[in-house]
Structure 1
Amino acid sequence: MSRSTLRPSAAPPPSPRRSPVPKTDSIGRASAFLASGTIVSRILGFVKLIVLAGVIGQVGQSTNAFAVANQLPNTVYVIVAGGVLTAVLVPQIVRASLHADGGTAYINKLLTLALAILAATTIAATALAPMLTVLYGSNMKPESLALATAFAFWCLPQIFFYGLYTVLGEVLNARKSFGPFTWVPVLNNVVAIAGLLVFSALYGADPNGARLATGFTPAMIAVLAGTATLGVVLQAVVLFYFWHRIGLRFRPDFRFRGVGLGVAGRMASWTFGMLLLTTLAGIVETRVVTLAGDTDASVAALNTAWLIFMLPHSVITVSVATAYFTRMSEHASVGKLALVRTDASSAIRGTTLIIMLASAVIAVCAYPFARVFVAPYGQVLSIGNVIIAYVLGLVAFCVLFVIQRTFYALGDTRTPFFFTLFQVTLVIIGVLACALLPSAWIAAGVALTVTVSGIAQAGLAAWLLRGRLGGIDGRRILRSLATYSVATVPAILAGVALLQVLGGTREAGFALSGKIQAVLAMGVIGLGMSAVYFGLLLLMRSSELRGFLDPVLDRIRRR
């Protein structure tokens, strides 16, 4: 899946039901609820990454082979089914809920059609596993490519169950049952972790990635890739239980007339095109980064660094923007563009308040963060450099996410296609140039290219939204960003000082001497930087920080 722009969430979220516009405090509660499940899932996701790194390493033949194969299901799902399900079919669920039967007949048609599409896609993709693997990993050694293909046969069935999870979960959301969709990914991570532990117990751990691709037996491949797929299967199937609890029953219905693919289908065509663009960029990225070989940071390291990059975005930006999306859509539906502009401004200023600090903390703690996953000092430095290169673009990435959601609230999927085309063009040119770098710097170069192109994309998207809304409250947003930046500089200086004291840049330093020491060092640095950052914002009387703290303080006083 492409790391060059937004992931599966690139497709517009479902159009909301016409309901009273949520108040600010309800947005806060909704954001917190959405974030809670994400936080637990992400924590377990990082535990899974740590265990994976301890079992097969972050650099090596088998590591990169598994990384290439395990990203294929997401990539194929997003191209073929993800955009269609999210942008075309899923929005109809909410509208169908207004029918006399609560949308039950429509939901049965929807799920039947979705399962048919997903089944056909999964069968075709699995049959074409060798071709898909070559598409991404043609620069890998023959034995690594063969192992990646073997892994792919086990991983590609995930496509069907990712789609099933999406449809079942969105139906639950439309029925106001938000918890299952948010929390069942926890089950996926638990199963995947258990599978890795079983693999380690049966075949031994290889934290340095020294095991050759030819050392994998069919049984080893089945345990490693099969348990990864089992987690996705359970994540989807368990949602049928929650369907039963809210009174839904699935009965196949192949009478597809009236499903309603007209206007939504035309809108989704632009989203589908955007997904194709980002996938093309992802293919170029993967093919170039595999040139780093088996001894330097490559596909697995890039994927790990991206997940670290995505942590604050998933917890903060996605939660806030999802809650604001309902209000923006309500205002857009009645032509109140001034209120849409206010909503977008509030979402940007609210998310960047935390994201600015998160970017700084992750950048300062990049090497200790890498030490959690790998032990050799050279690998720590190479993965840490990739993390730094990505995180420099985190603020712009989050701003872009809000801007994109604002266009979707306006019913516009065409404009996001064009600013994505602009960014993908920059990515492809820059990534191809990275092939000329020394192998040790290829992954970091790819990450930096994604960052620079993402910043340019965010700037273009903001300019286009300004024209669409007649302004985007730019002065207020820039004033807030400037305030955050002023508070960030001393926080970074304090963080770097703590990093040096804790030996976070020295091979024999405390922060790099073990996983637990690295986590402790990150905790100390993060707390120190947070105290400086928020303290300075309080001194500067940041209105955004006061807006965040006042409801919390009021609740404490009431208790």
Structure 2
Amino acid sequence: MLPSTRVTRHPLPPSQPTPTLLRPTPPRPRLLRPAPPRPAPTNRRDPSVADPDRIGRASAFLASGTIVSRVLGFVKAIVLAAAIGVVGSTSADAFAVANGLPNTVYVIVAGGVLSAVLVPQIVRASTHTDGGSAYINKLLTLALTVIGAATVLATALAPVLTWIYAGSNTEILPLAVAFAWWCLPQIFFYGLYTLLGEVLNARRSFGPFTWVPVLNNVVALIGLVIFGILFGFDPDGTRAIDDWTPGMVAVLAGSATLGIVVQAVVLFWFWRRVGLRYRPDFRWRGVGLGAAGRMAGWTFGMLLLTTFAGIVQTQVVLLASGEGASVAAIDNAWLVFMLPHSVITVSIATAYFTRMSEHAHAGDLDRVRDDLSSAVRGVSVILVLAAVVLMVVAYPFGAVFQPGLTLASALGNVIIAFAIGLVGFSILFVVQRTFYALGDTRTPFFFTLFQVIVFTVAALSCILLPLEWTAVGIALSTTLAGTAQLVLALVLLRRQLHRLDGRRIAVSLGRDLAAAVLPVIAGVVLLVLLGGTTEDGFAVSNRVGAIVSMAIIGAVMAALYFGVLWALRSPELRGFAEPLVARVRRR
């Protein structure tokens, strides 16, 4: 289950993936210039060797913008839940389907293709005499032409696309189509944001791509507040489909699209600040676009597979719409699930990805293997804690969106089912990026095909479950299929790298899991004491109690976890912590 690029279910900036399986995440800021030819050994330190302090600083910089955007994203999701509900809300499910369509189409047309081929191609193009500017203009012109045509076509076919995803529930279909007319123009601006931001990253201007999604969240949040003031809030999701007017649809879905527009267009201003000028160039030969197209072919096939899986998922889970957790609940659970992945995994893996591309381009597989091992161990040391904390505080997290144990537990059970696979999901993200660094998009297609088959069989079997457990079954199907995919991907990657530093990774992961035992026990005890398992308990009866309870439980679990790891002399934890400790001591 590769991380996806679905970015705005509510709508959130392109830093928010969604549960429609396997879609590669849009490119994030790249931090390192192409490595020069490796000199003969000397007594001086080779600058191309991974520097934990440098990686830590780079990851922290990337994470800062993501954290701010995620905080606003959670606030926005809470306001959305207050406006149209979550569990049992047909309105919320209709909006979730429609607001997911734009990035479904975008990912098929360009999203994963750009993610898989753009960075390596820019790294290679930077060696050209013009610094890659010709490639940038040609790529931008080609991509915007294709994405613009796709946007017009998709908007014209809004009823058809909506039916493909929501045909199993005819009750919500008319409202979902009405939302889709307003949401589908987002496709073009997703592409514009990704392209403009990636070029800025290649020119070592990382801040804009990381921080402008905050504007998206602010605009969309203002739109939700206006909607609630004008038309009333409906936290229980009791508003009937027939109660929606064209004005209500325009305010809710239109503000979602406006946020994406602002996020993309503002990057032109940053282009000017770094001296870039876009000049349309329709001469698409001569800068390696043919090679990029061949690489993209396999990625495109992979995206078609995952789109099929996404259709199966949505059609099955919509059977529970109005009765229990459905599409909107899946989206909110995925939002919670993806927070640690976005802040930790994407930041750490991104800091290694360009380095991997450089080493792979130089044919240095030993260093690619070292990069893979370091990234996996660095990600796992944090993600193990994140996974167990999410499982313990799942019910309070559910109460943040809809207070009361009944509704909170319906959402919390979906969060738990996703969280079980968090560590594997994040490791898979690193493994996939390693294949891309090696210039191999063919192999990911085949292990994605395997995953889609496993998921489809498991998801269809969820039809047999009681409606209140359908969404939980879908989440568990995602975890099961992703775990199977990870195993196969590791086997295939080992053939290319000859070995995977498996012993060191296994020892590190085992140490992390052992360190999590005491925090889990303490967290469960605190959850019970705070009333997280009773209807009127402090941890689930209201939003303030839920947030306070999560803060207490999370802080205690984190302190115990890192304390045990420090006592066990975890080299991964010390690699991140010691530079910070040394800096504090110097001050």
Give TM-score, length-normalised by structure 2. Answer: 0.92
Residues 12/44 of structure 1: CA separation in 2 closer, same or farther (3 Å cut): closer
Distance 2:61 2:575 in 1: 19
Which residue in 2 is equivalent to 1:130? 159
Question: In 2, distance between residues paired with 1:334 and 1:123?
Answer: 42
Work out which of the residue numbers 127, 133, 139 in structure 1 matches 2:168: 139
Please say if 1:18 is aligned against 2:34.
yes
Q: In the TM superposition, what is the alpha-carbon distance from 1:135 to its structure 2 partner?
A: 0.4
Distance 1:165 1:303 in 2: 22
- Residues 1:328 and 1:202: Cα distance change in structure 2 (over 3 Å): same
Q: Write out aligned runs for 1:228-267 (5 A).
A: 228-267=256-295
Instruction: Write the letter of the residue equivalent to 1:53.
Output: A
State the distance in 1 between where 2:110 and 2:226 align: 32
Q: For 1:184-199, list aligned pairs within 5 A.
A: 184-199=212-227
Larger CA deviation: 306-315 vs 546-555: 546-555
Equivalent residue runs for 1:302-451 within 5 Å: 302-451=330-479
Q: 1:113-161, CA deviations, whole angstroms, 9 ceiling, x for partnerless residues? A: 222111100000000000000001011133x100000000000000000
Residues in 1 aligned to 2:111 and 2:130: alpha-carbon distance in whole angstroms: 27
8 A contact 1:192–1:227 mirrored in 2? yes
Q: 1:89 to 1:361 in 2, by over 3 A?
A: closer
Give the deviation of 1:104 after TM superposition: 3.2
Number of the residue aligned with 1:78: 107
Partners of 2:488 and 2:122 in 1: CA distance: 33
Question: Which residue identity does 1:386 align to in structure 2?
Answer: V
Cα deviation per residue 1:449-481 (whole Å; 9 max; x = unaligned)? 111111111111112222221211111111111
- Aligned equivalents of 1:218, 1:10: Cα separation in 2: 33
CA RMSD of aligned residues (A): 1.8
Q: Please state if 1:470 is matched with 2:498.
A: yes
Shift of 1:277: 1.0
Asked if the contact 1:16/1:94 (under 8 Å) is kept, the reply is no
Q: Name the aligned partner's letter for residue 73 of structure 1.
A: P
Task: Provide the C-alpha distance between the structure 1 equivalents of 2:397 and 2:344, rounded to a whole number of angstroms.
Answer: 20
Give yes or no for contact 1:56–1:63 (8 Å, CA) kept in 2: yes
Q: Is the 8 A contact 2:396 2:549 kept in 1?
A: yes
What does 1:87-166 correspond to in 2, within 5 Å?
87-88=116-117, 91-142=120-171, 144-166=172-194
Q: Is the 8 A contact 2:21 2:310 kept in 1?
A: no
Question: What is the number of residues matched between the two proteins?
Answer: 558
Q: Partner of 1:220: helix, strand, or coil?
A: helix
Q: What is the CA-CA distance between 1:93 and the residue it aligns to?
A: 3.7
Q: 1:533 aligns with which of 545, 548, 561?
A: 561
Compared with structure 1, are the counterparts of its residues 16 and 524 closer, same or farther at alpha carbon in structure 2 (3 Å cutoff)? closer
Between the aligned partners of 2:119 and 2:436, the Cα distance in structure 1 is 14
Identify unmatched segments of 5+ residues in structure 1.
Answer: none
What is the aligned counterpart of 1:67 among 71, 74, 96? 96
Report if the CA contact (8 A) 2:387-2:420 is conserved. Answer: yes
Question: What per-residue deviation string (whole Å, max 9, x for no partner) do you get for residues 203-222 of structure 1?
Answer: 00000000011111000000
Name the structure 2 match of 1:171. Answer: 199
**Distance (whole Å) between structure 2 residues aligned to residue 100 and residue 32 of structure 1:** 33
User: Counterpart in 1 of 2:548?
Assistant: 520
Structure 1 residues 185, 406: CA separation in 2 closer, same or farther (over 3 Å shift)?
A: same
1:489 to partner: Cα distance: 1.3
CA change 1:260–1:467 in 2 (3 A) is closer
1 CA distance for matches of 2:495 and 2:130?
Answer: 42
Contact 1:13-1:87 within 8 A present in 2 as well: no
- Contact 1:129 1:153 (C-alpha < 8 Å) held by counterparts: yes
Distance (Å, rounded) in 1 between the aligned partners of 2:118 and 2:348: 24
Cα distance, 1:91 vs structure 2: 4.5
- Once the two structures are aligned, what percentage of the paired residues are identical? 64
Q: 1:64 and 1:317, CA in 2 relative to 1: closer, same or farther beyond 3 A?
A: same
- Greater share of residues in helix: 1
- Greater shift in the superposed pair: 404-413 or 124-133: 404-413
TM-aligned CA deviation for residue 550 of structure 1: 1.2
Contact kept, 8 Å, 2:122 with 2:202, in 1: the verdict is: yes
SS in 1 for 2:464: coil
Question: Does the aligned pair in 2 maintain the 1:85–1:114 contact within 8 Å?
Answer: no
The aligned residue for residue 21 of structure 2 is: 5
> CA-to-partner distance for each residue in 1:414-461, whole Å, 9 max, x for gaps?
111111111111000000000110000000000001111111111111
Q: Equivalent of 1:180, from 164, 186, 208? A: 208
1:243–1:406 CA distance, 2 compared to 1 (3 A): same
Query: Does the residue aligned with 1:510 lie in a helix, a strand or coil?
Result: coil
Asked if the contact 2:381–2:573 (Cα under 8 Å) also holds between the matched residues in 1, the reply is yes
Tell me by how many angstroms 1:89 deviates. Answer: 5.3
Tell me the CA shift for residue 11 of structure 1. Answer: 7.9
Q: d(CA) in 1 for partners of 2:506 and 2:116?
A: 32
Q: Conserved in 2, the CA contact under 8 Å of 1:12 and 1:408? A: no
Deviates more, 1:9-18 or 1:520-529: 9-18
Verify the 8 A CA contact 2:125 2:287 in the aligned structure 1. no
d(CA) in 1 for partners of 2:511 and 2:251? Answer: 51
**Cα distance, 1:376 vs structure 2:** 4.2
Q: Unaligned regions of 5+ residues in structure 2, if any?
A: 1-5, 7-17, 37-47
Q: Which residue of 1 aligns with 2:237?
A: 209
Report which stretch shifted further, 527-536 or 300-309: 527-536
Q: CA contact under 8 A between 1:317 and 1:398: conserved in structure 2?
A: yes
Aligned to 2:13: none
For the Cα contact (< 8 Å) 1:73–1:157, is it kept in 2?
yes
Residue deviations 1:31-62, cap 9 Å, x none?
A: 11111111111111111101100111103111
Quote the offset at 1:196 in angstroms.
0.1
Name the CA distance, whole Å, in 1 between partners of 2:360 and 2:61.
Answer: 25
Distance change in 2, residues 1:213/1:371 (3 Å): same
- How far apart are residue 13 of structure 1 and its match? 9.5
Amino acid at match of 1:66: F
AA aligned to 2:319 is L
- Counterpart amino acid of 1:469? L
Q: Secondary structure at the match of 1:297?
A: coil
Measure, in 2, the Cα distance between the counterparts of 1:437 and 1:81. 36
Q: Distance in 2 between matches of 1:285 and 1:547?
A: 40
Deviation at 1:283, TM superposition (A): 0.6
Q: Among residues 48, 55, 61, which one is paired with 2:76 in the alignment?
A: 48
User: Is the Cα–Cα contact under 8 Å of residues 30 and 351 in structure 2 kept in the other structure?
Assistant: no
State the AA in 2 paired with 1:508.
Answer: D
TM-score (norm 1): 0.96
Query: Secondary structure in 1 aligned to 2:372?
Result: helix
Counterpart Cα distance in 2 of 1:14 and 1:163: 18
Aligned with 1:509: secondary structure? Answer: coil
Tell which deviates more after alignment, 379-388 or 99-108. 99-108
Closer, same or farther in 2 for the Cα pair 1:181/1:10, shift >3 Å? closer
Give me the whole-angstrom Cα distance separating, in 1, the residues matched to 2:97 and 2:470.
Answer: 17
